[in-house]
Amino acid sequence: MNTWLVVINVAALLVLAGVLFYMQRRHVSFSNRVFAGLGLGILFGLALNLIYGTESEVLADSVDWFNIIGTGYVRFLQMIVMPLVFISILAAFTKVTTGKNFGKTAGLILGMLVGTTALAAAIGIGSALAFNLDASELVQGTAEVERGADLEERSTEVADKTLPQQITELIPSNPFLDLTGARPTSTIGVVIFAAFLGVAYLGIARKEPENAAMVKKGIDAVYALVMRVVKLILRLTPYGILAIMTRTVATSDFGAIANLGKFVIASYVALIAMFLIHLVIITLNGLNPITYLKKTSETLLFAFTSRSSAGTLPLNIKTQTDRLGLPDGTANFAGSFGLSIGQNGCAGIYPAMLAVMIAPSVGISPLDPGFIATLIVVVAISSFGVAGVGGGATFAAILVLSAMNLPVALAGVLISVEPLIDMGRTALNVSGSMTAGVTAANVNKEVDRDVYNGDLRTQPIDA
């Protein structure tokens, strides 16, 4: 009987996917297909949740099949991330304008990423204090205790390393190993390696222009090939979002979410407040924030549903270049650096809120100015090297809580609402990287305002 129910559920998902395919054949816009996938996924997931419940074996078996589309799509994106990060950074150096402004552009982007993360930490602290969050008052079940034990075990590796040692870990000793994503800091390792090659290219360009031309031609060819793969994968976005949202809603424990409702609300208040600051920054750059919101909505929506900053990188770069009018080099730097440095949501708001929640359990007043100032600095420094894939926020939390000598295990009480909060955190991370790119390009007077203000319908990011 269960097998037939699973078959029916899978067939229903395929029918919904067929609806999206029909919309594609009818040339419905990519944006509308993405939102259709989101809406259909929420409705179908809610129906499955109500019919079977989160503990159902039928639902678990069905989700396994759904993951072929949902998780499969995210894996395709992750498959191309390391090659894209590497070639994007390297190609950025071959752009004449970026080459001339390399130091200034990189400095502006890094400064924006780290600065906005420090600001995000302050907002997270304020939200946690305003909602009077206290981790010691939360009920811990078996799953929460096991999660806490796992976090404690992982934290021992971090706690044994000094800050200088952690910084040293960012430097790649084997870039080919980092290209496999083997280390938590592999992404920034690839960025550093590609940057060294880029600087070497600039040296060749000055002294051996003929060889530099050959190198540039090869880099441009590989970049074109990688971006073509990206375009092929992006066409699957509506189907991926359909399956991902179906799984997320169908497996959500609404009872547990209700029990931790105050933390969820406080988190989204902080996330929305920080996003509004992004819009303020866009405005200060002399650009229309409503236009920014419209042109980045599809990318932010995918980040929200996929919970992967790394998986969103292709959309991130294409949105910056094709819709926001940024130079290729700046967009590549901002998108790639934003994967491992200064993630506003995962490395800023989240660990700061956790620290404020956990501090009372060890007799520390979260209102102490010294504690707050130290926490903001630690969050900003720890934001280097946070992986832009699932689990990045956990890694950031371990770094911050260990540095502040706070018990890591209490973070385990949030396991039941982690996916729900992580959706908003990831979208904020991506918005932060795009905001940094826009700011750097505007300071360098490189924003193509005709593209930025252009008709959205003529700027598809899926083709």
The predicted structure's pLDDT at residue 142: 47
The predicted structure's pLDDT at residue 90: 86
- Give me the CATH topology for the region 2-79+101-165+236-458: Proton glutamate symport protein (1.10.3860)
Rounded CA-CA distance 111/44 in Å is 43
The predicted structure's pLDDT at residue 141: 47
Task: Give residues with Cβ within 8 angstroms of 236, minimum separation 6.
Answer: 73, 76
- Per-domain boundaries in the chain: 2-79+101-165+236-458
Q: Which residue in 342, 304, 323, 356 sits closest to 433, CA to CA?
A: 342
Place of tokens 């037939």: 4
Bridge partners (DSSP) of residue 341 are: 384
User: Can you read off the two tokens belonging to residue 264?
Assistant: 């969820």
Task: Give residues with Cβ within 8 angstroms of 135, minimum separation 6.
Answer: 354, 357, 358, 360, 361, 410, 411, 413
Q: Encode burial over 279-311: b for 16+ CB neighbours within 10 A, e otherwise.
A: bebbeebebebebbeebbebbbbbbbbbbbbbb
Give the chain's residues under pLDDT 50: 98, 139, 141-144, 463
CB atoms within 10 A of CB 2: 11
Rounded CA-CA distance 426/457 in Å is 26
Residue 459 carries which side chain, given as an amino acid letter?
Answer: Q
Task: Give residues with Cβ within 8 angstroms of 414, minimum separation 6.
Answer: 260, 263, 354, 421
pTM for this entry: 0.81
Task: Give residues with Cβ within 8 angstroms of 187, minimum separation 6.
Answer: 81, 82, 85, 178, 181, 310, 336, 339, 340, 387, 388
Q: What is the pLDDT of residues 101-146, one digit of tens each?
A: 677 888 899 899 999 999 999 999 999 999 988 776 554 544 445 5
Identify how many contiguous H helices and E strands the chain contains and give both numbers: 21, 0
The predicted structure's pLDDT at residue 195: 84
For the chain, the helix, strand and coil percentages under 3-state DSSP, each to the nearest 5: 80, 0, 20
Q: What is the pLDDT of residues 243-301, one digit of tens each?
A: 988 988 888 777 666 667 788 899 999 999 999 999 999 999 999 999 999 999 989 98
Q: Which residue in 266, 273, 234, 275 sits closest to 429, CA to CA?
A: 275
Q: Are 366 and 359 in contact (CB under 8 A)?
A: yes
Q: Are 99 and 195 in contact (CB under 8 A)?
A: no
Rounded CA-CA distance 389/425 in Å is 12
